Amino acid sequence: MDSLHAIGFYVSAAISLGGGLLVAFLPGRGARGLALGVSGLGIAGLYASLSADFAGLVALVCYAGCGLLIAAPRYRVVDFPVGMVWRQAGAVAAAGLFAILAYAAFRGDFVHAAYKGGEFGTAAIGRLLFAHDALATEAVGALVLVALVGATAAWRVRDRGR
């Protein structure tokens, strides 16, 4: 990875992680949605610096959608009946997960190879999506369909209950 891509990678990593931490600590749905969008921008930058431009574009659109959903006026508060101790235990478990996975990444014995890519690659990804891995693409399409139908049904049930 050359210096320009490396700088883009580190800046994008800082933006994505900073946005993620803001999602955790900012109050209010609007600020959280905006922070999630910023984090998505960083993740898209990470993809772009890893020569995955198409995935970056898809991620940019999807994370903007996630941010809009989180910040939408239809936001409803649903509190978990979970005590502070369990939340702190979850935070410690998240830190432990980071430590374990980071150790695994650090100790991993990876093969080093040169990369000759850099192209946008939409045609190749399209061939892979719709020819080689058509089943996985259809599974994600089915997931999107189920999610949209479920969301619509839930909204209609709630509106009918008013």
Partner 1 sequence: MSAGLVTVLFVAVALVAVGAFVATWKRDLMAALAGLPLMFGGAGVAFAGAARFSAEGDPKIFGQEVAALVAVAALALVALGVGIAGRGTSR
Interface residues for partner 1 in 4-63 (CB under 8 A)?
5-7, 9-10, 13, 16-17, 20-21, 23-24, 29, 32-33, 36, 39-40, 43, 46-47, 50-52, 54-55, 58-59, 62-63
Read off the tokens for 134: 């058509």
Q: Does 66 bind partner 1 (CB under 8 A)?
A: yes
Q: How far is the CB of 17 from partner 1 (least distance, A)?
A: 6
What secondary structure letter does DSSP report for 51? T
Site string for partner 1, 122-141 (x = CB under 8 A): --xx--xx---x--xx--x-
Tell me how far apart the alpha carbons of residues 40 and 62 are, in angstroms, rounded to a whole number. Answer: 8
User: Which of residues 76, 85, 135, 160 is near partner 1 by CB under 8 A?
Assistant: 76
Q: How many CB atoms lie within 10 A of CB 37?
A: 21
User: Which of residues 79, 131, 135, 160 is near partner 1 by CB under 8 A?
Assistant: 79
Backbone dihedral angles phi then psi of residue 117, each to the nearest 5 degrees: -85, -150
What secondary structure letter does DSSP report for 74? T
Please, which residues have CB within 8 angstroms of residue 136's CB and are 6 or more apart in sequence?
A: none
Q: How far is the CB of 66 from partner 1 (least distance, A)?
A: 5
Q: How far is the CB of 106 from partner 1 (least distance, A)?
A: 6
Contact 29, 71 (CB under 8 A): yes
